Homo-oligomer: A and B are copies of this chain.
Amino acid sequence: MEQQPVTMSDVARAAGVSVTTVSYVLSGKRPVAPATTEAVQAAVARLGFRLNTVAQSLRTGRSSTAALIIPDIANPFYAELARGLQDALRRERLHVVICNTNADRAEELSYLDDVVRRRLDGVVITPQWLVTDDLDPLRAAGIPVVVSADTELSDLDVVRADSREAIDQAVAHLAERGHRRLGMVAGPTGTPNGDPRLALYRAAARRHGLALPADLVVRGKHTREAGAAALRRMMSRAQPPTAVVCVNDRSAIGVLEAAEDTGLRIPSDLALIGHDDIEVASLTRPRLSTIRYPAYEVGSTCGRLLLERLDGRVDPVEVALRTRFVPREST
């Protein structure tokens, strides 16, 4: 048998006070006589009362829940990011709902809509296809948004990677080892991480005298399968690359596997560099060289910004987290 939940007025009755007093005992937002406090607490304990957060939310307009909108929680990068975010938001007892979009624009929009309907307190999003205007409904509703992406976004809190130096080092590293033809497994066109990273690689390649020809830039999803397919495509070119850089570690792992299958040895036949340095990257053999972008820290930084914003900060903030080139056996 399912019991009636105990409400605040039950507690009030049991303690011989008004609901107001019960509310204030619980919130501490106004002084209450010690004896009263005690009586209320006793009643709360005796009846097993738990405040109904839904009613509280309706009244206050705050749900103490934030949304994290990402392509896929099963991608270790986002899982680590989620962990960082949750740890940062825990102090304020904020819950986090995870929204997996599969990098699909319709899903991204649908979750944003959900956020408004549910009056969530804030959103952290790693957008794949969204444009700034898509966030208008959130602005209108006064819901803070923190974006994690490498693109320029006006008037928003942004956490992004500053990979200029790291990419330059990586390319220099390749140049030193005699590489002259670079291939890149980039993200889908128009995606907020792929394009900026590609641009950085282009610039670095130019600086260090490497070619990065258009037919060696392969677009695709951030998956192992896409990485493997990309490599096969590159190697079928008239002039295949001697070194490949990947938009993230998952695709780099795909490249690694496809290379193995083809009998290509890494790094002797092909140098390989990933991005992100998820935990797995250190487990592959040969070890994956990578541009390290610490996911946990990205998440906790997003959380910090969100909390500040909820606390009343109004000016948008942009945080650039410096990435680091981690050479390993594979270059």
Contacts and interface: CB of A to CB of B under 8 A. Distances in A.
A118 to B, nearest CB: 4
A54 interface: yes
Interface string A286-327: 000000000010000000000000000000000000000000
Interface string A1-21: 011010000000000000000
A53 interface: yes
A327 to B, nearest CB: 19
Contact of A53 (B79, B119, B283): B119
Contact of A114 (B95, B99, B114): B95
A97 B50 contact: no
A70 to B, nearest CB: 11
A65 interface: yes
A162 interface: no
Nearest to A5: B141
A48 interface: yes
A48 B280 contact: no
Interface stretch (A35-43, A55-63, A204-212, A227-235): A55-63
Interface residues of A, number: 47
B253 A283 contact: yes
A51 B5 contact: no
A24 to B, nearest CB: 18
Contacts of A48: 137
A67 to B, nearest CB: 8
Given A54-B119, A58-B58, A97-B95, A73 B82 contact: yes
8 contacts: A53-B118, A54-B118, A73-B86, A76-B79, A95-B97, A95-B118, A253-B283, A283-B283
